[in-house]
C-alpha cells in the first residue's frame, strides 16, 4: 500500500481534488454564477490532463476515476440544462400509450384530457420554447425516455436516476469498444480516456443528462464491428445511433470509397431498413410534418455559440440593415445546403480507403458544419470529441475546454452572449484546427488526396 502511494501519490491527489470540485459543481453551483463555473471547469480540465499524463497506461486507475467522478452526480439535479424535464415528459407519454410526436406539452395541458405523472412539475421545469413545440428526439432516444419513466415509477427523481445510469453504462461501453477499435486502428488504447475523463463529457452527459454518449456508444460499436470486416452486423448498431440523435446519418457518404459502390449500397439499404423498423412504432400521418417542423427550427430560429454566423450577422445588420429574424432563416436554409455539399465533397474528394481515413473525414465535415452553424450547444462538441480520438486530430479536445466560454450566456436571464468570449473560443479552436490541418496534411496525407 505504501509503495502504491509513493508511485501514484500525485494522480491520487489530483483525483481527490477533482472529487471535491465535481461535488461543488454538482451540488453547489447555479449556472448564473459564471466565474465559479469557469474556475471549476478550468481546474477540472487541468486535473484531467495531469491524471491522464501520469497514468495513461494504468487502465484500472483511469477507469475507476472516471466511474467515481460520474457517481458523484448520481442524485444531483441537472444545473446547466432543463432538457431532462422534456425527456421525462416524452417518456411518461409513451408509458401511457401516447405518441410524443403528436402533441406539444402546451396542447396537452390546454386540452386537459391526458393525465401523466407530475405533469405540472415537468411543464414548469422545461423551457417555454420546449413546451410550445413537438418533440424532436428520435425514436430510440424516446425508448430510453420511456424506459426511464417506467422504471422511475412516475417520480421525476426516479426517472432522472435511471437516465443517469443508462448514460453511465453507455460511457462504459464506449471505453470497452473504443479501446478495441483503437487497437484495430493501431492507435494508443489510452486515447479513449481523453473522452472518458473529460469534464465536458462528465458534466454534460452524466450531470445534465444529454444522450450524445448513448449515440456515440452505438456509433463506436458499429465502427468496431466494421473494423472486424463484419459490416453487415454493424448496420443495426449504426441505425440505432442515427435514431438517437440523427447526426450519424450525415456520415453515410464517407463509407462510399471504403466499402466500394456495391457494399455501400447494401450498407445504406440495411441501415435504412433498420431505421424504418425503429421508426414504425411511432409513425403517424402527421409525424413527418411535426418532427421536421421542430428539427427545422434548429436551422432557422435558434442561435447559440455560433462563429461564422455571428460574423455574417454583424456585417449584415451593421452595413446592410438586415433584420436578424429574417437573416437567420435565410442563413439556416443556405447552411443546410452547404453542409450537405461539404459532406459529399469530403466523401468524394478525399481518399477514404481506410476506416481511419473515413472517420477523419467525418471529423472534418462535422467540424466545418459546426463552424458554419448558428447553434452549437456545448454538448454537441462531445460527439465530435468522441470520434476524434480515432484520428490524429486533437483540436476537438481544445474545443472541449474552450467551449466553457459559451456558458457565459447562462449567467444572464435573457441568455445574452458575450461576443468577445466567443471570439476567444473560436480563435483558439480554429487556430489549432488550421495548425493541425497544415502540419498533418503533408506528412500524413489526411486532407485532400489525388
Confidence of residue 19 (pLDDT cuts 50, 70, 90): very high
pLDDT digits (tens, 9 = 90+) for 395-439: 999 999 999 999 999 888 778 899 999 999 999 999 999 999 988
Question: Which of 166, 244, 249 is CA-nearest to residue 212?
Answer: 244
Mean pLDDT in residue range 145-157: 95
Contacts 24+ apart (CB under 8 A), 440-445: 440/392, 440/393, 444/392, 445/351
Displacement of CA 84 from its chain's centroid (Å): 15
pLDDT surpasses 60 at 96: yes
Q: CB within 8 A of 138, min separation 6: which ones?
A: 242, 243, 244, 245, 246
What is the per-residue pLDDT for 300?
Answer: 64
Is 276 in a helix, a strand, or coil? helix
Helix axes 212-227, 355-372, angle to 10 degrees: 150
pLDDT surpasses 50 at 201: yes
What is the per-residue pLDDT for 298?
Answer: 62
Burial of 158 (0-12, 13-18, 19+ CB in 10 A): middle
What is the per-residue pLDDT for 362?
Answer: 97
Give the torsion sign (CA, 334, 446, 186, 267). positive
Confidence of residue 94 (pLDDT cuts 50, 70, 90): very high
- ∠ CA 263-264-267, rounded to 5°: 85
Mean pLDDT in residue range 360-373: 96
Distance CA 46, CA 234 (A): 36
Displacement of CA 238 from its chain's centroid (Å): 16
Which DSSP state fits 76?
A: P
Mean pLDDT in residue range 358-379: 96
Scan for cell 483558439, then name that residue.
428
Kindly list the domain boundaries of the chain, sorted by start residue.
2-79+158-282+301-444
Q: In terms of DSSP H, where are the helices of 395-418?
A: 395-402
pLDDT surpasses 70 at 448: no
Query: How many of the other CB atoms lie within 10 Å of CB of 92?
Result: 27
Exposure string of 3-39, with b = 16+ CB inside 10 Å and e = fewer, is eeeeebeebbebbeebeebbeebbeebeeeebeebbe
Query: How many of the other CB atoms lie within 10 Å of CB of 289?
Result: 12
Distance CA 160, CA 208 (A): 10
Distance CA 199, CA 205 (A): 10
Put simply, whether the predicted model's pTM sits higher than 0.75 gets the answer: yes
Report percent pLDDT > 70 for the chain: 96
- ∠ CA 123-127-129, rounded to 5°: 110
E strands, 22-127, where? none
Confidence of residue 447 (pLDDT cuts 50, 70, 90): very low
Distance CA 149, CA 160 (A): 8
Distance CA 153, CA 129 (A): 27
Least confident of 201-210, 348-357, 407-416: 407-416
| Helix and strand counts by DSSP (H, E) for the chain | 22, 0
SS percent in the chain: helix, strand, coil, step 5: 75, 0, 25
Least confident of 77-81, 232-236, 321-325: 321-325
Confidence of residue 355 (pLDDT cuts 50, 70, 90): very high
Amino acid at each position: 500500500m505504501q509503495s502504491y502511494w509513493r508511485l501514484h501519490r500525485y494522480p491520487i491527489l489530483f483525483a481527490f481534488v477533482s472529487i471535491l470540485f465535481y461535488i461543488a459543481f454538482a451540488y453547489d453551483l447555479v449556472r448564473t454564477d459564471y466565474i465559479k463555473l469557469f474556475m471549476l471547469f478550468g481546474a477540472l480540465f487541468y486535473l484531467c490532463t495531469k491524471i491522464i499524463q501520469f497514468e495513461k497506461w494504468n487502465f484500472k486507475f483511469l477507469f475507476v476515476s472516471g466511474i467515481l467522478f460520474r457517481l458523484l452526480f448520481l442524485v444531483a439535479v441537472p444545473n446547466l440544462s432543463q432538457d431532462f424535464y422534456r425527456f421525462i415528459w416524452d417518456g411518461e407519454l409513451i408509458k401511457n400509450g401516447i405518441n410524443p410526436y403528436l402533441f406539444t406539452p402546451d396542447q396537452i395541458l390546454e386540452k386537459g384530457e391526458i393525465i401523466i405523472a407530475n405533469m405540472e412539475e415537468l411543464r414548469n421545469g422545461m423551457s417555454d420554447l420546449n413546451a410550445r413545440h413537438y418533440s424532436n428526439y428520435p425514436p430510440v432516444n424516446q425508448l430510453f425516455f420511456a424506459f426511464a419513466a417506467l422504471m422511475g415509477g412516475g417520480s421525476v427523481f426516479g426517472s432522472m436516476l435511471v437516465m443517469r445510469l443508462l448514460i453511465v453504462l453507455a460511457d462504459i461501453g464506449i471505453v470497452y469498444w473504443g479501446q478495441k477499435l483503437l487497437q484495430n486502428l493501431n492507435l494508443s488504447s489510452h486515447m479513449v480516456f481523453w473522452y472518458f475523463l473529460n469534464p465536458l463529457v462528465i458534466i454534460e452527459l452524466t450531470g445534465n443528462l444529454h444522450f450524445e454518449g448513448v449515440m456515440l456508444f452505438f456509433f463506436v460499436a458499429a465502427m468496431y464491428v466494421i473494423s472486424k470486416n463484419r459490416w453487415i452486423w454493424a448496420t443495426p448498431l449504426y441505425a440505432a445511433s442515427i435514431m438517437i440523435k440523427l447526426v450519424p446519418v450525415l456520415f453515410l457518404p464517407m463509407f462510399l470509397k471504403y466499402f466500394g459502390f456495391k457494399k455501400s449500397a447494401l450498407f445504406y439499404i440495411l441501415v435504412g431498413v433498420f431505421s424504418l423498423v425503429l421508426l414504425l412504432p411511432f409513425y403517424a400521418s402527421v409525424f413527418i410534418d411535426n418532427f421536421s417542423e421542430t428539427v427545422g427550427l434548429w436551422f432557422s430560429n435558434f442561435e447559440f455559440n455560433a462563429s461564422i454566423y455571428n460574423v455574417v450577422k454583424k456585417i449584415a445588420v451593421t452595413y446592410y440593415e438586415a433584420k436578424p429574424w429574417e437573416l437567420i432563416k435565410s442563413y439556416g436554409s443556405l447552411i443546410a445546403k452547404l453542409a450537405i455539399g461539404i459532406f459529399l465533397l469530403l466523401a468524394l474528394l478525399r481518399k477514404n480507403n481506410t476506416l481511419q481515413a473515413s472517420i477523419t473525414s467525418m471529423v472534418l465535415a462535422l467540424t466545418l458544419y459546426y463552424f458554419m452553424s448558428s447553434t452549437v450547444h456545448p454538448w454537441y462538441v462531445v460527439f465530435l470529441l468522441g470520434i476524434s480520438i480515432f484520428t490524429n486530430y486533437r483540436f476537438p479536445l481544445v474545443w472541449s475546454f474552450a467551449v466553457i466560454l459559451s456558458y457565459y450566456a447562462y449567467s444572464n436571464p435573457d441568455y445574452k452572449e458575450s461576443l468577445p468570449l466567443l471570439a476567444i473560443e473560436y480563435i483558439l479552436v480554429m487556430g489549432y484546427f488550421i495548425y493541425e490541418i497544415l502540419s498533418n496534411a503533408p506528412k500524413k496525407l489526411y486532407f485532400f488526396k489525388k
